[in-house]
Structure 1
């Protein structure tokens, strides 16, 4: 930790926890560098060639060293024995663990410049164990645990001591490689890089850093208590530092740990005894789902060691070596766990390696062929290679998109794929195309696709002739192409025949713009389509299909409405130029005689077999009978007559027998006698005349003795013999009363002529109907 935070750290120190007896590790700091390397790390193995071991560390604490040998004494610590490197006296690593007890600073104990360079830190109190090492194999590793008293409070969020396991070729001036990293990363292992969730502390630090989320917590081991076997707040799980090396090349190993800036809280690294020795790296395991080996491939497990060594290969934990396999490499073809034991020049030096191998499931493809029709007989055609994909794949949906190549070399090298497989022009007859797919693991599989040409021919189908019977006579008809496709013409070819239709031969050849089975011709009267006939998925032949639409629209075939006079017969007929006739009366001639009203029709057929129908609506007609007339009179210009009649004809009406009108209502009639007639417009005859009278009174008279208009009278009143007329002056004085037989009033009263004036009258009819009015007497 940085010294500027030293006093802040002490703010978080509380009372010592209770100390319980624990099965502590033992620590012996009397071991020399050579003993630690040769007797502990390498465990006296003859497989390791060790030289120049050096250990440095605390040189200011009398009788104490910061590096040592440790033993778990049968306790719970994960390693039985090993090497301990620490940032304080190594004997302080023994249990019990006491929390929040800082160590004193010792700034005279310096850091390590190589560690500073690799980690980018400024260190103090460095402990180093270094040596030269010549491996006999291609791989080395050792197991270790990082422990620290900085796994307290909020410290892992901010502070971490530094350590590294450094390696480079001996004598090299190049940089070191750090092996003490989080697996599969280049991140150094430290308390800031490996810890669980750190909760906030109370009270919060004065400088604001308080708590942090977990980071790489899968590699954190545990927080310690007073019963833990070491005197550190927490430690990682067992980790492995490893790297590949070149056999028989000398490397310099430097194991170093140091405080980072402050010596307040200390850390240590525990290295497992005997874990540093020559090992064999057989490569990464080849397992699902990341990198299994493709089915059918031969995988070589290679030790990359000299053939002069002795080799034994084992499979799946068997104690019996694989018979005959004594080489540095092993070819495997099936799933298993494979192990090698190598005697490196001496029975006392045995190196081992192990790898797990899994093979993908077998991809089963089918070789198949495509048969295309040849448009011009040259043996060259355009193929849609994708049509074969489902067959080649055996309908296996777990395979990738299919790619096609013109030869197997290109397919295996994945070069020059056919760019447009849906429109590929073959280069020769029966050309073989290579189809390639990948499974979900990227494993390839290949199949052959043969491109063949169909030489089949089909006898041309007779034209499909229909009649334009939709009423429009435009030469357009909706055809049922499905009916054509399933007709005996095509079904007779074979049992696996499929037919599709196109507007032109090019589309049929390329299988583009296929027509719907319900097709209206786009060219009136006659149009040629092209049927592509498939035998399964292969083209059998392309043949033209001619569609003919015959129109039949004879003249004068509009529906007719014809009247039939009562008591007569009517001849219905059409032209005699048709091939056949059928009336709804079942008659088969071009005309029939009918005597009853009704709906009649005739269906005619021409020489093309097309039909047309003419309809006759025969309606009854006859002479009318006038039954009455409703007369509205005594209304001057508004006098009217409404003729009442009976009959089934279509009538017109007249009051004089000369001028006729369609309406039975006559208006604006003058007083007088009329004869009413009803005439049948259909020519069936005229009714018996019906006499009517229209009555009215004169609006004035001039009794001056000139013999003209000398009397006020009502014409035709004699038709109403029981009528009575009474005349009054303006004051209501009765002047004259007479009946229907009287000649009228001459304008006198008691022999005296009355003056010119307006006079009033009442007419009382037999049924007590009364008409009142007035008129003028003029002198």
Structure 2
């Protein structure tokens, strides 16, 4: 700070000590525009050539200015010293914060049209402006600032904001650019655009709605009576910057104004010495957005004259990079690079910084593919994608792989191989180029050699199996996995894989691979082709012959027979087979069995095929007739159900001549019967069992001709304790007699009864009663 500024600051502090607290900023509004720009904002730096500084503002408050110099004093204000521009008297910016003070200024103190145009607002008042011309020596100018406002109250940030802008344009042009914007946006900084969540405010006139937070990361906080400034809230310290052209003249206009009235004032605090030339080295080149690819060279360029003095630094080191004294620096590794440029004078040192990050090296592996040659001409079809995992070293973070015929095409991303899955080589041992990209789009390349296999395999002996699946059709399910893992193939090497195809073309093109559990589609004999891989390379293609032998001996159907109790039976199959094996352990073509059960014999022919015949021997024997269930007195409905026991398969008879499978006999006429059960397997006939079937005559004719003269029930005398009662149609008892009586002759007390229907009941010894009726005919 120059001598004038130091004397002024001393006088300012002394004179204001009676009205300022130890925790307040200190404002001196006696500075001229030239002092504020050259001595404070630029801090007498020769890095920027300043001219024509002008300050305008409050002319309605006697002895007061709306702009001035400030320092933080002993307060914690985040900017130590600088320039303050306000919409009221700049001295009002000093603490303490007074929430009841609604503002100062005058409606006669006008606003600024450039500000209104830049922010697209109207109706501004109380504008304070600091503007000047400057010529930068570098391509970037920058300064730091903080915006404070009394509109950070109640729910005002949801609806109102004073306006301010830092406007810059190249001299001779008419269009301004606003530098007071939220970083990485075009949104102007204001209390509406930078604030936290504003809750509903309960005023004396009722609730006022709040609003969501806006760019809260840049909000510095609300103030209280202990704050260093007389404003209700403020932003963080922000940076305004613009790219410029060294040596050209620019005009900058720093302006702030009330918007919509002269209440609730605001201020912008500009950091002393922060308006200076800087060097823009371009955007940082870091992951994940735009790192530099491994192996590339990157030039950091200040774009300044080589007549200046340069020092380059890396990653915070205080020792300059040896030999780096040019306007540009070639870098090959990751780091934060800084340049210091003496712009013609030791009093003007401009700096720039850039972060550089190189991507990790893509480690690829050259490899080869070996393909079988179908016709021996050295040309084959290759699936280039098979080499992808090896080339990438199994790095899943790399992009899809592309293939080119030469490195020039690969590096220039032209003429890729369009069908890498079915690429026909141009010559044996042709080299193609594989290209991959990492997640940042950085490429790397590897060589893939396409070679032809010259291997051959001694043909495998035919695989012979027996058609033993129960269907003699020449079809069998083969375990091709067992063939693939057999010693025949495993003896070739340690990294052998085998797949099977129905024809040689499919094997060559690797199309329509067969499943490892395979049923032959051509009966009895079929030739498959095995494609043998050594790793991912084709070693050879060899035929595999599958033969299905059939064995269907005659008379070899399963048999079911029986064995009578105490007897034996011979089980016999044809002679002439290579071997026999019975479930009993015997090895001849016949065995004798004495017990029922399941027996089988497996025979083997000269081809080693087997066939099995099963014998089911069931027990059988003579039955015992235990009794019968008789349904009689039913006319044609009379039936007899023979009750029996035994383990055989029986047929039945009630006369010893006619036999049937069913033990139930229907329509049995009254009479005496002998019941039989006969074993169908020839074990014998049961002992006969005698029964009687009873019934009553449906009419009789007592006319003395000796035929049917008595109504009687035959064989009822075998039930001697039975009683018979005969009634007329009116229920009058006409006759009662025992089962041994000869019957009724149709008379009552010697009188002949007329032809009519009569009724009877029979009461048996067990009190069972049978009722019926019959006709007397004359």
Deviation at 1:118, TM superposition (A): 1.6
Deviation at 1:359, TM superposition (A): 3.2
Q: What secondary structure does 2:70 align onto?
A: strand
Residues 702 and 78 of structure 1: CA distance in aligned 2, closer, same or farther (over 3 Å): closer
Deviation at 1:753, TM superposition (A): 10
2:176 is aligned to: 176
Structure 2 Cα separation of the partners of residues 30 and 510 of structure 1: 92
Is the Cα contact below 8 Å between 1:204 and 1:210 reproduced in 2? no
Structure 2 Cα separation of the partners of residues 687 and 156 of structure 1: 118
Is the Cα contact below 8 Å between 1:755 and 1:777 reproduced in 2? no
Establish whether residue 166 from structure 1 lines up as the match of residue 152 from structure 2.
Answer: no
Is the Cα contact below 8 Å between 2:95 and 2:229 reproduced in 1? yes
Is the Cα contact below 8 Å between 1:21 and 1:227 reproduced in 2? no
1:91-490 mapped onto 2 (5 Å cutoff): 91-122=91-122, 123-173=124-174, 175-203=175-203, 210-490=209-489
Establish whether residue 497 from structure 1 lines up as the match of residue 514 from structure 2.
Answer: no
Structure 2 Cα separation of the partners of residues 239 and 746 of structure 1: 141
Structure 2 Cα separation of the partners of residues 223 and 762 of structure 1: 123
Structure 2 Cα separation of the partners of residues 262 and 604 of structure 1: 117
Deviation sequence 1:478-533 (CA, Å, 0-9, x none): 33222222111111111122223344545544545544433344444444444332
Structure 2 Cα separation of the partners of residues 508 and 355 of structure 1: 59
Structure 2 Cα separation of the partners of residues 270 and 129 of structure 1: 12
Deviation sequence 1:162-190 (CA, Å, 0-9, x none): 222122221124x1111111111111112
Q: TM-score, normalised by structure 2?
A: 0.80
Structure 2 Cα separation of the partners of residues 631 and 142 of structure 1: 127
1:31 is aligned to: 31
Deviation sequence 1:60-92 (CA, Å, 0-9, x none): 555444333333445433333323333334344
Residues 570 and 757 of structure 1: CA distance in aligned 2, closer, same or farther (over 3 Å): farther
1:537 is aligned to: 536
Deviation at 1:40, TM superposition (A): 2.4
2:5 is aligned to: none
1:8 is aligned to: none
Of 309-318 and 646-655, deviating more is 646-655
Deviation sequence 1:585-623 (CA, Å, 0-9, x none): 555554556677665433233443322222334567788
Structure 1 Cα separation of the partners of residues 679 and 198 of structure 2: 116
2:55 is aligned to: 55
Residues 78 and 691 of structure 1: CA distance in aligned 2, closer, same or farther (over 3 Å): closer
Structure 1 Cα separation of the partners of residues 97 and 723 of structure 2: 151
Deviation at 1:352, TM superposition (A): 1.7
1:42 is aligned to: 42
Is the Cα contact below 8 Å between 2:700 and 2:709 reproduced in 1? no
Deviation at 1:202, TM superposition (A): 3.7
Deviation at 1:664, TM superposition (A): 7.0
Of 332-341 and 754-763, deviating more is 754-763
Is the Cα contact below 8 Å between 1:314 and 1:340 reproduced in 2? yes
Of 208-217 and 627-636, deviating more is 627-636
Q: What secondary structure does 2:203 align onto?
A: coil
Deviation at 1:305, TM superposition (A): 1.0
Residues 634 and 361 of structure 1: CA distance in aligned 2, closer, same or farther (over 3 Å): closer
Of 237-246 and 423-432, deviating more is 423-432
Residues 578 and 126 of structure 1: CA distance in aligned 2, closer, same or farther (over 3 Å): same
Residues 49 and 746 of structure 1: CA distance in aligned 2, closer, same or farther (over 3 Å): closer
Q: What secondary structure does 1:124 align onto?
A: strand
Is the Cα contact below 8 Å between 1:26 and 1:70 reproduced in 2? yes
Deviation at 1:697, TM superposition (A): 10
Equivalent pairs counted in the alignment come to 752
Structure 2 Cα separation of the partners of residues 459 and 690 of structure 1: 83
Of 64-73 and 583-592, deviating more is 583-592
Residues 196 and 625 of structure 1: CA distance in aligned 2, closer, same or farther (over 3 Å): closer
Of 262-271 and 491-500, deviating more is 262-271
Structure 1 Cα separation of the partners of residues 200 and 358 of structure 2: 50
Residues 86 and 605 of structure 1: CA distance in aligned 2, closer, same or farther (over 3 Å): same
Q: What secondary structure does 2:273 align onto?
A: coil
Structure 1 Cα separation of the partners of residues 300 and 188 of structure 2: 31
Task: Tell me how large the CA RMSD over aligned residues is.
Answer: 5.0
Is the Cα contact below 8 Å between 2:700 and 2:710 reproduced in 1? no
Q: TM-score, normalised by structure 1?
A: 0.79
Deviation at 1:51, TM superposition (A): 2.7
1:11 is aligned to: none
Residues 377 and 99 of structure 1: CA distance in aligned 2, closer, same or farther (over 3 Å): same
Deviation sequence 1:317-374 (CA, Å, 0-9, x none): 3232111111111122223222211122233332222223333333333333333333
Residues 98 and 666 of structure 1: CA distance in aligned 2, closer, same or farther (over 3 Å): closer
Q: What secondary structure does 2:53 align onto?
A: strand
Establish whether residue 84 from structure 1 lines up as the match of residue 84 from structure 2.
Answer: yes
Structure 2 Cα separation of the partners of residues 33 and 770 of structure 1: 145
Structure 2 Cα separation of the partners of residues 761 and 102 of structure 1: 133
Is the Cα contact below 8 Å between 2:58 and 2:105 reproduced in 1? no
Of 651-660 and 471-480, deviating more is 651-660
Residues 727 and 703 of structure 1: CA distance in aligned 2, closer, same or farther (over 3 Å): farther
1:723-762 mapped onto 2 (5 Å cutoff): none
Structure 2 Cα separation of the partners of residues 76 and 139 of structure 1: 30
Deviation sequence 1:704-757 (CA, Å, 0-9, x none): 6x898999999999x99x9999999999999999999xxx999999xx999689
Structure 2 Cα separation of the partners of residues 270 and 329 of structure 1: 36
Residues 159 and 550 of structure 1: CA distance in aligned 2, closer, same or farther (over 3 Å): same
Is the Cα contact below 8 Å between 1:485 and 1:500 reproduced in 2? yes
The answer for unaligned runs of 5 or more in structure 2 is 1-18
Structure 2 Cα separation of the partners of residues 683 and 477 of structure 1: 44
Structure 2 Cα separation of the partners of residues 761 and 59 of structure 1: 149
Deviation at 1:144, TM superposition (A): 1.6
Residues 605 and 237 of structure 1: CA distance in aligned 2, closer, same or farther (over 3 Å): same
Residues 406 and 660 of structure 1: CA distance in aligned 2, closer, same or farther (over 3 Å): same
Q: What secondary structure does 1:353 align onto?
A: strand
